[in-house]
Structure 1
């Protein structure tokens, strides 16, 4: 997991070719101009899901994880809390088509998005996005899906 400001996103160049593609796209396009839904960048390698999301309480919320994609989470309006855990107890079966599984356990790190900050979660990392922050229970956000493992 990496978290920083969008102004520093370019520092991550070279970690993975598909991440480089995402960074290049973000440097030349305005996320705020996108309509909700899926925005293609480079086929299934890089795409963006823009959504208006109701936020949830962090306490008791499940973590999600992916096997194929990294999630680059960016809030366009509002602010959300995110959580991270090194490990947890898997819940249910992994949805390979949706590249998503769930787990429960204690949050070991967390922070807030908004105001130009991002969080990048790599495949296998347990993360809990879309949690309320004081005074905010809804956000417009972009999740850049970056294929890391084919």
Structure 2
């Protein structure tokens, strides 16, 4: 897991390809914040981004997920959330595939957490468990962008 703020990409240690995505003029904080809700996919790009409203909940109500084929870049645009996450590969743990490439863990081991505010992002690579949309204090509505970057995107950098 990597995290940072869109205004300070040079300090985040992002791999070159992920940095290129977030450096794109359509992916700056202001551009994303002003974008319409829905799917953003630039021409000739494998990755895409879903922008929209979501509701945080108390941590015990949130499911923990991981992906096998996509990395997530989760960017908070309005509001704030806690994301709990694990630091070991969970792909061999018992999980249910709820949607294509969305695996829900029944007994996650989440030893870390990150508090994201507007402009902050967290990157979760395939196999990294994460429990997003946990309320900071009380459940609330936030707006966020979630980039889905296919594993094939990393073929030359992993």
- Report the TM-score when normalising by structure 1: 0.82
Counterpart-to-counterpart distance in 2, 1:42 and 1:10:
26
Does 2:115 match 1:112? yes
**Contact kept in structure 1, 2:29 and 2:77, CA below 8 Å:** no
Structure with a larger share of its residues in helix: 2
Alignment size in residue pairs: 147
RMSD across aligned positions (CA): 2.5
**Contact kept in structure 1, 2:85 and 2:112, CA below 8 Å:** yes
CA gap 1:52/1:82 in 2 versus in 1, 3 angstroms: same
Q: What are the equivalent positions in structure 2 for 1:11-90 lying under 5 Å apart?
A: 11=11, 15-17=15-17, 19-25=18-24, 26-27=27-28, 30-43=31-44, 45-59=46-60, 61-85=62-86, 86=88, 89-90=93-94
Deviation at 1:115, TM superposition (A): 3.4
Deviation at 1:5, TM superposition (A): 2.0
Does 2:96 match 1:92? yes
Deviations 1:69-122 (CA, angstroms, capped at 9, x unpaired): 111111111101101013664232364xx3211113232000111132211111
Q: Which runs of 5+ in 2 are unaligned?
A: 154-158
Could you say which residue in structure 1 is the equivalent of 2:156? none
Deviation at 1:31, TM superposition (A): 0.5
**Contact kept in structure 2, 1:79 and 1:136, CA below 8 Å:** no
